[in-house]
Amino acid sequence: MTDTPDRFYVTTPIYYVNDRPHIGHVYSTTIADVVARYHRLRGDQTFMLTGVDEHAAKVVTAAEERGLDPQSWADQNAAAFQETFFSLGVSNDDFIRTSEPRHKERVTEYVTALIENGDVYAGEYEGWYDAGQEEYISENKAKESDYLSPINGKPLTKKRERNYFFRLSAYQDRLLALIEGGGFVVEPEARRNEVVARIREGLNDVAISRTGTGGWGIPIPNDPDQTIYVWIDALFNYLSAVDVDGRREYWPADLHLIGKEILWFHAVIWPALLLGLGRELPRRVYAHSFWISEGRKMSKSLGNFVDLERLDDYVARFSLDALRYFLTTQGPIGTNDADFAEAKFLEVYNADLANTLGNSFSRVTNMIGRYCDGLVPQPGGGSDSGLQEKAVATLEDYRAAMASLRLDHAAAAAVELVRQVDGYIERTQPYRLAKEEGKMAAVGAILYDCAEAIRIASLLLWPILPDRMATAWGRLGCDSYAHATASRGAGQLEEWARWGGLQPGTPVSKGDPLFPRVLAEPAPAA
């Protein structure tokens, strides 16, 4: 498999502006960032979008409670999300807010087009309404949950409205064919099967407008009493952000990364809206699972959300890269939930980052300093380290893992390459050889292979560890990678990761440990 530079567009959900950012938001955005950086590293023309979803009714009530107008309240909170992502080193290319004119104008156009082609029509609706989610729930689902919200447990209410409806029912067969035929990829597979089973039960038309929002939201064209339902408004962000001159080539999106609870909107409603508009469908929707905290589900009532303060604390103690590493490698990619637990964080940090990556890097650069005058030594012709073959195989595994979004496997492949370096050092003991006469060429050859394998591992880990790997590159005399990839620049992974890239004679510098060991904090006094 080779990498051909391409164009790549990845999105995160746009987060409810009413919330304070927490681990869930940080997680989805961080893994989207890892994917975006991987594509930039490959040289792809990449666009990463995140943002906030502002037109929920809750925004109006929360603003009222604070004596603010909804826009000012949304402005404050949107800024908090933006600052959070900035301080976490997220490399999004844009941040969309659904209250921005650029979005509202596009959405008005989309809905006008759907009204004109008959996909949106006026009608009346009565059903069970989950006020917390601003969502109607089917009779079956309402019954199953004892007429309580499956999300927050509060009673559902019977609600009757004159609304605009989207003809979702008309798209059932096309959607099924697209999902089952792979034209529109929904992952992981278990989640796709759930979606397919539900579509087979039959699709009803859905209300896409609301009344009584007090003017907060995007009005239905020519019927200002009706506001476009916040979910429909929000889904359009993925298109509105790039449906402008200079960005159109990014559509269709390559990947919508979302959490499992919003898959229905992304795998059914969204593609159907796009079919209605005659637009191409996104190539892929991937729904990850959820973080829980120290073994317990996170909830507002338990007050155990891993919030920003907690995340900042990890950054202060372990570094931002370490947090990114933990989220990326231990997170709920796939269908299982993942536990954010202090003990596990410490274990993973010390095992992979301090004792493997950091330690190996220090050992190799120290030995080059001591035995090779701090210069990259000459490779030994016909070296039998096996590291070259291992690096080639690692690159293949890594690419495949990245393509299937197994970010944990991608990282594990790179870390395993570093473990091979450690094993090789143990076997050959260059520090012993260096004391024997006439063995300096052999020592140099060993260290060349070690440094080269580590250089390649550092490239593969850069999307997850952008700060520390750029430091590592600097010490290996590979500043050009850091220059190329700074400020969202494109890399050349294919070329850079080729064995033999390290030039003999290049100065190698030592420095502070990349990942200093961290001890467990003493348990707080009872």
**Which chain residues interact with ligand MSP by CB under 6 A?**
13-16, 19, 24-25, 27-28, 53, 234-235, 237, 258-259, 261-262, 290-291, 298, 332
Look at residues 121, 203, 124 and name the one whose alpha carbon lies nearest to residue 159.
124
Nearer to ligand MSP, 31 or 472 (CB): 31
Helices then strands, counting H and E runs in the chain, come out as 22, 15
CA distances from 511 to 316, 463, 486 (A): 20, 22, 21
Instruction: In whole angstroms, give the CA distance from residue 219 to residue 201.
Output: 32
Nearer to ligand MSP, 97 or 475 (CB): 97
Instruction: In whole angstroms, give the CA distance from residue 100 to residue 96.
Output: 8
If you count them, how many residues does the chain have?
526
Q: How far is the CB of 232 from ligand MSP (least distance, A)?
A: 9
Nearer to ligand MSP, 261 or 280 (CB): 261
Nearer to ligand MSP, 175 or 298 (CB): 298
Q: How far is the CB of 307 from ligand MSP (least distance, A)?
A: 12
Q: How far is the CB of 452 from ligand MSP (least distance, A)?
A: 38
The pairing of strands 45-53 and 94-97 is parallel
Residue nearest to ligand MSP (CB): 24
Q: Are 184 and 178 in contact (CB under 8 A)?
A: yes
Nearer to ligand MSP, 27 or 371 (CB): 27
Instruction: In whole angstroms, give the CA distance from residue 266 to residue 263.
Output: 5
Nearer to ligand MSP, 269 or 401 (CB): 269
Spell out a b/e string for 115-146, using b for 16 or more CB atoms within 10 Å of the CB, else e.
beeebbeeeebebbbbeebbbbbeeeebeebe
Beta carbons within 10 angstroms of residue 310's beta carbon: 15
Nearer to ligand MSP, 265 or 424 (CB): 265
Nearer to ligand MSP, 333 or 418 (CB): 333
| Cβ contacts of 439 within 8 Å, gap of 6 or more | 433
Q: How far is the CB of 373 from ligand MSP (least distance, A)?
A: 50
Supply angle C-alpha 339, 332, 9, rounded to 5. 145
End-to-end CA distance of the chain: 57
| Cβ contacts of 462 within 8 Å, gap of 6 or more | 37, 41, 469, 470, 481, 485
Q: How far is the CB of 14 from ligand MSP (least distance, A)?
A: 5
Nearer to ligand MSP, 125 or 290 (CB): 290
Nearer to ligand MSP, 28 or 84 (CB): 28
Residues paired with 375 in a beta bridge: 507
| Complete edge-to-edge strand list for the sheet that includes strand 185-187 | 94-97, 45-53, 7-16, 255-259, 284-288, 185-187
Residue whose structure tokens are 């890399």: 491
Q: How far is the CB of 144 from ligand MSP (least distance, A)?
A: 21
Q: How far is the CB of 43 from ligand MSP (least distance, A)?
A: 28
Q: How far is the CB of 15 from ligand MSP (least distance, A)?
A: 4
Nearer to ligand MSP, 53 or 352 (CB): 53
**Secondary structure (DSSP) of 15-47:** EETTSPPBHHHHHHHHHHHHHHHHHHHHT-EEE
Q: How far is the CB of 51 from ligand MSP (least distance, A)?
A: 9
Q: How far is the CB of 7 from ligand MSP (least distance, A)?
A: 22
Q: How far is the CB of 282 from ligand MSP (least distance, A)?
A: 12
Residue type at 469? M
Q: How far is the CB of 29 from ligand MSP (least distance, A)?
A: 8
Residue whose structure tokens are 């089917």: 138
Spell out a b/e string for 71-107, using b for 16 or more CB atoms within 10 Å of the CB, else e.
eebbbebbebbbebbeebbbbbbebbbbbbeebbebb
Nearer to ligand MSP, 28 or 385 (CB): 28
